[in-house]
Amino acid sequence: SEVEELLIQAERVLEKWEPVWTTFLSAPVREEALKMFDEISDIGYFSSGGFPSAERQRVQIHPKEETHIVGPEIIPISAIKVEGNFLFDKTETKDFLIALVKDGIAIDQIGDIWITGDRGAEAICTTNAANSLENSQSLIRDVEIKYKSISLNDLKLPLQRVPKTLTTIEASKRLDAIASAGFGLSRAKIGVKIKEGRVRLNWSSTNNGSRSLNKGDQIHLEGRGSIEIISIEQTKRSRWKVEL
């Protein structure tokens, strides 16, 4: 598994006493890996995905006693712009992911991808991937696209939301009820999102809107960010007071 491979990398770090970078890790794999590294006394780590709220990130594993000051100029992460005219052909991030893989880039070399209006998308990737794609052309369906390397500083990042806390009273602890309140969408709309696979619970896909939630659970909605249950308590009227 991916986590087992990361453990092997950690062992190599201890053997050679030199830092290594992982490929891009999904959020659930990264969370599991960092918990594992926390239990290894001689291992330290640093994680980056190109911007603060990136979901997919690379992790530098290094000997804990060594001091590693990691600046933007030495993080092995680059960015590309995928240009095309999608005014009459609406796209999703998965369309660009499929194109990148078709054009020879392995999934573990790709970070986050986001749409930039009707003119294409931007993506985080490894430096080698960016170099191999530079100025090349391809297709997404019938639309011609061109890849162009850009600076991380020039990215038009997806909306960065400021964390806020809210409290809601719900009739149940169901995923659809709490997600509806947390994301400010109707119960019907959040139900559709769940069925479409756009909602993840603790970073795992789910299509079960009736699933009961507990304190500490995290819900991620594609394009809308994440919410976490800070506390959940039953009221005297047998409803549920939920702090998010």
Three-state SS string over 193-221 comes to HHHCCCEEECCEECCCCCCECCCCCEEEE
Q: How confident is the model at residue 149 (pLDDT cuts 50, 70, 90)?
A: very high
Which tens digits make up the pLDDT trace of 58-106?
A: 999 999 876 555 555 578 999 999 999 999 998 989 999 999 999 999 9
CA distances from 195 to 114, 135, 205 (A): 22, 38, 10
pLDDT value of residue 96: 97
Count the neighbouring beta carbons within 10 Å of the beta carbon of residue 157.
Answer: 15
Segment 126-152 shows an average pLDDT of 95
pLDDT of residue 173: 96
The pLDDT assigned to 70 comes to 56
CB contact at 8 A, 24 and 56? yes
Q: Write down the pLDDT at residue 3.
A: 84
List the one residue out of 186, 169, 183 whose CA is nearest residue 219.
183
* Lowest-pLDDT range of 69-73, 179-183, 186-190: 69-73
Termini Cα distance of the chain: 33
Residues 97/113, Cβ–Cβ less than 8 Å: yes
Asked if 176 contacts 209 with a C-beta cutoff of 8 angstroms, the reply is yes
**CA 217, CA 175: separation in Å to the nearest integer?**
10
Residue 141 has pLDDT above 80, yes or no: yes
